[in-house]
Amino acid sequence: MAPVSGPGDDMYALVERLYPLCRSITGDGVRATLEIVGELLPLTVHEVPTGTQVLDWTIPQEWNIRDAYVADADGRRVVDFAASSLHVLGYSVPVHRTMPLAELRAHLHTLPEHPSWVPYRTSYYQPAWGFCLAQETLDALPDGDYEVRIDSTLADGHLTYAEHVIPGQVADEVIVSCHVCHPSLANDNLAGIAVATYLARALAEGNPYYTYRFVFAPGTIGAITWLARNADHVDKVRHGLVLACAGDAGQLTYKRSRRGDAEIDQVLRHVLAASGRPHRVTEFTPYGYDERQYCSPGFDLGVGSLSRTPYAGYPEYHTSADDLGFVSPAAMADTLAVCREAFAVLDRNRRYVNLSPYGEPQLGRRGLYDALGGRSDAKQAQMAMLWVLSLADGEHGLLDVAERSGLAFDTVAAAADALCGAGLIKA
């Protein structure tokens, strides 16, 4: 019998499929990526025309590329886009010339500190062209003339992004966002896409309290476009999480929202601490991924960011070393598990009002103590009821109760269910 794959294996297989595609902030690479994700999730794909004003930005021209290379006098491709999409400066304008190496050097990008790695570089908003290559490749090039060709187009078109919505019991939304604009970088965007995809599939199997909206968009300009097109909708967004760098071997890192005290901040801090996983919780900075767009002061949404090793925090970041060997099924499965744990708490973390607030209500005559008789944690369950009654003042959520009492969140939530069933509290 063939082994049954787990979510980590499935996510890794998705990363493998997406890895060869040349993505950018616009273009057919983004569409191809969303088409593959669309095989696993029903997506609503949006095409926003070049020139559209989105907040303080304008949708740029669409970039597509078919081929690119640097060839020596014998016609041998010493730099070849077909070998890796990282070899071309992102958004390079078309060029086809022959030039000496001395002139070509101004258009070549390397990483001298890591001579075997190819850097990832872009020039989105300033017309330019260039190639990225390993320093050791450049060092081996003899002087002479080289044929340079970039077969690309930069023309009016569209910016493409997609959404997947899981209806909840209420219209209030949780937004989960990941960027789809990087080329062959396994951890910095593909792992986030994979975790978001399988998180959406897992949430759809239940009956979530909140409505969950997944946004697959190019970094920065994509999130800004979503916000511009949904300005009259963002008041429904109660919580949010940006997923990135979700598959490396580093410990989990949660970056707080700009507010610093949003409910998602409390939930992730609690879940990570309660799990016993090695982790870090960091303060917000206006640099990183699209949490800085969702948290910009005009919107001020409660959106944090979950990653493993964070933005620019590992040497392989934005280089060819961020490859399929840099991510693992186990790491992505761990990130997915934390997301599921966090959203389970978020979905259940509601506030209650004590309907018998004058003195302690008699629990025994309501059968609440008898209901605990078979529980191995009967004493904790009883304490949880008392704590919920004490803090059911409309100001404290169940997570507040769990943290103040030191009891497990699930124990507190079960106590709230019992008390609600007995008519002693109401949401």
The answer on whether 188 is annotated among ligand-binding residues is yes
Closest C-alpha among 205, 164, 163, 251 to residue 344: 205
Structure tokens belonging to residue 215: 């946004």
Q: Which residues pair with 65 in a beta bridge?
A: 152
37-63 burial by CB neighbour count: b if 16+ within 10 A, else e? bbeebebeebebeeeeebeeeebbbbb
Q: Is 109 annotated in some ligand binding site?
A: no
Tokens, residue 333: 């499965």
CA atoms within 13 A on the CB side of 40: 21
CA distance 127 to 75: 27
Closest C-alpha to 196, from 14, 29, 347, 25: 14
β-strand partners of 179: 217
In the Cβ-directed half-sphere of 399, how many Cα atoms lie within 13 Å?
A: 21
Could you tell me if 400 and 415 are in contact, meaning their C-beta atoms sit under 8 angstroms apart? Answer: no
| 182 among annotated binding-site residues | yes
Binding residue numbers: 182, 188, 318
Binding residue numbers for Zn(2+): 182, 188, 318
